Structure 1
Amino acid sequence: MLSKFQRIRHFHLENKHKIYLPRFVEKQAIKTYPMSRTIKFIWPYMFPQEKSIRKITWATFGLLFASKFLNAYVPFILKEAVNSISLTNPALFYTGSIFVSYALSRALVVAIQELRVALFSRVMINAMKDVSTKVFSHLHALDYTFHQESTRTTLYSVNRSMRGIESYLRFTSLYVLPTILEFLLASGVLFYSCGWPYLVTLGGTVSVYYVFTTKYSDIRNKYISQQRIKSKALDFVTSESMINFETVKYFSNDELEKRRYNYFLQQKLDGNYLITSSLSKLNFGQQLIFNVGLGANLLLALSQVQAGTMTIGDIFMIQTFFMSLQIPLNFLGSIYRELTESQIELNELYELLDIKSKVVESPNAKDYEYKGGRIQIEDVEYSAGKKIFDRINLEIMPGTTNAFIGESGTGKTSLFRLIYRLFDPDQGRIMIDGQDLKDLKLESLRQSVAIVPQTPTLFNDTVFYNVMYGNPAASKEQVIEACKLANIHQRICEFPEGYESLVGELGSKLSGGERQRLALARCLLKNAKFYLLDEFTSAMDSKNEQEILASMKTLFKNKTVIYNTHRLSSIMFVDKIFVISGGKICETGTHDSLLKIPNSKYSQLWNKFISNKN
């Protein structure tokens, strides 16, 4: 089944409809980590530094031992009760009190177990919170390159890993350890009370039960793994169809999408049937093995009762010990599968946590000290699949307005990201006010630089929240003022709920120009020392662009500003233009001086711009 999702293929439905399967490529096989890594990873969360949680963990272990030892004593109470009934003239009060003790003991065992589960849920919640925070912080600490290359499946992997940790904690603490302890106690009691034949029968039954369950569960795990792929394929097709709703309508392909959806839905349903039927076979095999072992032990006990070496009560005691193991053993297949899946999901988490950021803060990093705003780029080389910069050099003077110009793909946006230190150059260095970026604290550097990206993204929240995000400490008046400077305040007031209007996922409810102006307002609210404006007016109409550019001249006075744009008319006023070509700065100067150079690269770009504009 996997191969169908690894390349584009097609099949015929009803001999006349062709359906193309999506190119659904599964993530490459992940590294397998030993069980010791899981124990080492989870242990600190079960016994954290927080004393209250650590006390709860020890209390749950104490309750575990108390419940299992009490549970091991319950069969002896039942034995005594049955033997008292077997007497010729049983004392009703004595016999009744034994039965009451038996019932109360069973109830007490359940009460202790439930108290243990309730207490341990505190430990699990605390562990999930700490792990989730650790993973969330780690993802944000990774460099821009990782987030460029990672897909939306990364978040799915993280969510699956969180479920894996929860399952691992729950099943090991609430099922595996109690079952092992119960088996050891039952074995010891049977050996001490009844002799080695019963120990051999119990041990043999559990061993065969375990081997059958694990082997058959491995087969079922393959079905489940295939089902995960089928489910992912169905989710993928459904998501893509909804995201491309407009395209589906443009080409009247509703029926095609329905057929594709039904195909993958049927694949998933067929997989569900296979998993369900295999579970029935597993359950039958488990019950057969368990009851054969139980029957063998009871027959052995019956022979000893007839020989006079055992009582009727002993038979009930042996049966009770066996039955106490039945419920946890019935879950053995599910536990084994859950732990196997949890380990696989945790492998994904370990692989993610082992990724190191390529942008690392120096141990001796210092806060950035503002000294006017000079930027120096010295012999910088940078590659991202291909060579982008080849020993590039430039200097931007303090408090000046500048522009990076060049054909698409020459690295203008990459230069912004290097200055912001989203990634580091392969060679060379970048300095701000004489301070190497690698010697500065990342937070201090980035607090001093504001950037409007080429394609701004917005949170699926209110207009106010998205603008305020540039400076969470800003007042409502400051947010409104920033929006006025970005020439978007009046438009916001026309929204149904004004600043409390939702912008939609990634700002989908807004036009491209509105998103850019909100991003600009957010940038202005930051009140930084440097401003990097990457195609920040590309989706605006000429009127809005000219009004914003006019206000920028005053607003950015004495600030170091760099524009990156293909609209050359918007940067005619800047102090210096840097023309990038072939991985180097090929020309520098003002708009007028560059046009005077015969056949200059800038004049070629200008003529092309004017031609396209006309």
Structure 2
Amino acid sequence: MTIQMNESPDTGKGVGAVRIARFLWSYWRRFPLVALTTLGLMLASIVFDVLFPIVSGRLVDAVAKAGFPPAASETMAAWIALALFVGQTVGFQITRRTSMVFWGMLATRVMRAIVDEAFHRVQRYSTDWHSSNFAGATVRKITRGMWAYDALADTLFMGFLPTVLVMVGITLSLMFYWPLVGLYVLAGTIAYAGVTILLLRRFVAPRNRLSVAADSAVGGAIADAITCNTVVKSFGTEPREDNRLGLLSHDWSLKAMYAWRTMDFVMMAQMGVLVLLQLGLLGLVIRYWTAGEATPGDVAYAMTSYLLISGYMRDVGFHVQNLQRGANEIEDVIRFAENEPAEPAGPHAVPLAVQGGDIRFDHVSFAYPNGKGAVYRGLEAHVKPGEKVALVGRSGSGKTTFVKLMQRLYDLDDGRILIDGQDIAGVTRESLRRSVALVPQEPMLFHRSLAENIAYARPGATPAEVEEAARLANAHEFIGKMPLGYDTLVGERGVKLSGGERQRIAIARAFLADAPILVLDEATSSLDSETEELIQDAMDRLMEGRTTIVVAHRFSTIRRMDRILVFEEGRIVEEGSHAELMARKGGRFRALHAVQLAGIRDAVPEGGGPENVEPETAGNR
């Protein structure tokens, strides 16, 4: 069984070191004072670290050259050497610890910026993008990317930067004393770096990338199942979801184990190079000592140099592992940062100014990017200011597409949509959508209080305004019966409320938005008659004085409309009032009406008529 998860277009390809460096630099340069202070303190600590072998050798020489009992000058020399030794340690600790304080300040600011900006961009990606990507996997990519920065930056700043600079300092110091030893250490360092980079690029990176992709798949599957838990319970398919997750987690475990095992082999190769470096460095110094060209302090200097080198280089294996994993895990937020949202405001976009709410579709042509759904070819439609228009038709005929294009959830292939004479392609999307109040068929509520959900359309609304909107929506009574009233949390997506209650909250939200244009995706077909009457009454109040478009699923609502547009295969095949359309014998609308009354659910024939037609029931869009 193969389970596929949706991924970004360039998933599977690494973003590369240059893109990662550019990404990190784009954040570090925003905080120059903190970044430069951190770097300066780190460089000072590295200088103190490089001095450690030198002061160690001086202390050994001061003790080894002294007689017994030592002369006053020899004692003084030993105390001075000890003071330098202790001073080096104190200087190192102060500068390194202080640099970590500033590094923490920089890291928290950058991590906050990363998650805020990734969230900002993802929210503005197209509707099509969101419908093609798991929400859980997207959340995981954003949060994982934030922590990947922490691991990646820590590895670079606290791992690789000190290692590289200490290696340079020690190599130059050894070259000053013994050129041959210095050259040997330089060759060993280059060999170590070469082996590490080669093995990482060839073997570790591809396996880590597969492991990260499998991790995203696991997160997406968990979120998908938990979000749809009511569906899982209603069909009793918990074991099936367990099995699905088991397949994905098994796939992840194999890929993760493969990646980790590969890293173990890389570290074994690194240790082999370190052993050769130890043998050559100390062997050469011992040779100089036997020839009388090195003192005991020089031998101590060489030994402490090797210990310092090996300490840093031994950790390189872990640093490289963390660096590679961090680079793989940060790839998604780098893609988010580089990919412009599909909904940019545009440099010349202006706010939409709605006076009456006149809507005109002018030769509109459109096809969905995925090739599915209704297609418009030169569609013409006009909704007058204050007019109440119903959109009816079979599923897939183009009703919902009409509303989506009016909200500019998709851009047109050709033609224009005008609101009060303004082409919506030239206005800011925020102003457009604030001018259109939408009451969807299945209202989505946040896991927040009832008051917050109602006030979402106008966050600055007072409690009195929120309550008034709830009263107009016939929601105040059921809210008052709840233990915490308007402070009651509704659960994820509003699961603690009934369908009718969620619908009334959505209507209250629309009342508070007070937008000049109203879109109602009617959802009363599955409600009991009493609840339907309450919602219908609230919707009638909401429509007053507004240009209203109703995606109609029940003909009880259609009778209240000024005009009806009948859609078929992306075309408006009929339009008129309810009485006018019912008077047309053999008309599409009359056929749909007859079918709904009769409860027949077959497809509408090409020639129309009451036989073999599909009713416009709830859920048909």
TM range (shorter): 0.7 to 0.9
Query: Which range moved further: 173-182 or 524-533?
Result: 173-182
Matches for 1:275-314 after TM superposition, within 5 Å: 281-314=265-298
Q: Distance in 2 between matches of 1:231 and 1:148?
A: 21
State the Cα distance separating 1:292 from its structure 2 match.
Answer: 3.2
Alignment pair present for 1:391 and 2:373? no
Rate the CA distance shift 1:573–1:276 in 2: closer, same or farther, 3 A.
closer
Alignment pair present for 1:46 and 2:24? no
Task: Identify which of 40, 43, 52 aligns with 1:62.
Answer: 40
Matches for 1:100-499 after TM superposition, within 5 Å: 100-152=83-135, 153-193=137-177, 195-217=178-200, 218-228=202-212, 231-232=215-216, 235=219, 281-384=265-368, 385-386=371-372, 387-499=374-486
Rate the CA distance shift 1:541–1:33 in 2: closer, same or farther, 3 A.
same
Contact 2:437 2:515 in 1 (8 A): yes
State the Cα distance separating 1:447 from its structure 2 match.
Answer: 1.9
Q: In the alignment, which residue of structure 2 is the partner of 1:611?
A: 598
In structure 2, list runs of 5 or more residues that go unmatched.
601-614, 616-621
Contact 1:470 1:525 in 2 (8 A): yes
TM-score by length of 1: 0.88
Query: Which range moved further: 439-448 or 419-428?
Result: 439-448
Rate the CA distance shift 1:223–1:501 in 2: closer, same or farther, 3 A.
same
Rate the CA distance shift 1:242–1:64 in 2: closer, same or farther, 3 A.
closer
Alignment pair present for 1:80 and 2:58? yes
Q: Distance in 2 between matches of 1:268 and 1:350?
A: 23
State the Cα distance separating 1:389 from its structure 2 match.
Answer: 1.8
Contact 2:6 2:134 in 1 (8 A): no
Secondary structure at the aligned position of 1:423 is classed as coil
State the Cα distance separating 1:239 from its structure 2 match.
Answer: 5.3
Rate the CA distance shift 1:44–1:28 in 2: closer, same or farther, 3 A.
closer
TM-score by length of 2: 0.87
In structure 1, list runs of 5 or more residues that go unmatched.
1-7, 10-21
Q: In the alignment, which residue of structure 2 is the partner of 1:36?
A: 18
Q: In the alignment, which residue of structure 1 is the partner of 2:607?
A: none
User: Which deviations, in whole Å up to 9, do the C-alpha atoms of 1:534-586 show, x marking residues without a partner?
Assistant: 12434433222223333443443221111112111122111111111121111
Q: Distance in 1 between matches of 2:269 and 2:490?
A: 57
Contact 1:187 1:202 in 2 (8 A): yes
Letter in 2 for 1:36: V
Contact 1:516 1:539 in 2 (8 A): no
State the Cα distance separating 1:406 from its structure 2 match.
Answer: 1.0
User: Which deviations, in whole Å up to 9, do the C-alpha atoms of 1:508-555 show, x marking residues without a partner?
Assistant: 222222222211111111011111111243443322222333344344
Secondary structure at the aligned position of 1:587 is classed as strand
Contact 2:394 2:568 in 1 (8 A): yes
State the Cα distance separating 1:422 from its structure 2 match.
Answer: 1.7
Query: Which range moved further: 344-353 or 321-330?
Result: 344-353
Letter in 2 for 1:322: Y
Q: Distance in 2 between matches of 1:269 and 1:357?
A: 34
Rate the CA distance shift 1:296–1:62 in 2: closer, same or farther, 3 A.
same
Rate the CA distance shift 1:583–1:41 in 2: closer, same or farther, 3 A.
same
The aligned length equals 590
Letter in 2 for 1:424: D
Q: Distance in 1 between matches of 2:107 and 2:427?
A: 39
Q: Distance in 1 between matches of 2:221 and 2:355?
A: 54
Rate the CA distance shift 1:304–1:465 in 2: closer, same or farther, 3 A.
same
Contact 1:452 1:536 in 2 (8 A): no
Secondary structure at the aligned position of 2:193 is classed as helix
Rate the CA distance shift 1:399–1:243 in 2: closer, same or farther, 3 A.
closer
Q: Distance in 1 between matches of 2:240 and 2:44?
A: 62
Contact 2:407 2:433 in 1 (8 A): yes
Rate the CA distance shift 1:395–1:223 in 2: closer, same or farther, 3 A.
closer
Task: Identify which of 569, 572, 592 aligns with 1:585.
Answer: 572
State the Cα distance separating 1:329 from its structure 2 match.
Answer: 1.2
Rate the CA distance shift 1:253–1:587 in 2: closer, same or farther, 3 A.
closer
Letter in 2 for 1:61: L
User: Which deviations, in whole Å up to 9, do the C-alpha atoms of 1:163-201 show, x marking residues without a partner?
Assistant: 3333332222222222111111111111012x2211122
User: Which deviations, in whole Å up to 9, do the C-alpha atoms of 1:244-278 show, x marking residues without a partner?
Assistant: 66666677666666666667666666666666665
Query: Which range moved further: 104-113 or 88-97?
Result: 88-97
Q: Distance in 1 between matches of 2:242 and 2:541?
A: 57
Letter in 1 for 2:57: K
Secondary structure at the aligned position of 2:60 is classed as helix
State the Cα distance separating 1:595 from its structure 2 match.
Answer: 0.5
Q: Distance in 1 between matches of 2:410 and 2:452?
A: 28
User: Which deviations, in whole Å up to 9, do the C-alpha atoms of 1:481-510 show, x marking residues without a partner?
Assistant: 211222222222222322222211111222
Query: Which range moved further: 181-190 or 75-84?
Result: 75-84
Q: Distance in 1 between matches of 2:20 and 2:218?
A: 31
Letter in 2 for 1:59: T
Rate the CA distance shift 1:276–1:438 in 2: closer, same or farther, 3 A.
closer
Q: Distance in 2 between matches of 1:252 and 1:536?
A: 27
Rate the CA distance shift 1:547–1:241 in 2: closer, same or farther, 3 A.
closer
Identity of aligned residues (%): 25
Q: Distance in 1 between matches of 2:25 and 2:217?
A: 36
State the Cα distance separating 1:602 from its structure 2 match.
Answer: 0.9
Contact 2:357 2:384 in 1 (8 A): yes
State the Cα distance separating 1:109 from its structure 2 match.
Answer: 0.6
Letter in 1 for 2:28: M
Secondary structure at the aligned position of 1:404 is classed as strand
Q: Distance in 2 between matches of 1:423 and 1:230?
A: 31
Q: Distance in 2 between matches of 1:441 and 1:252?
A: 46
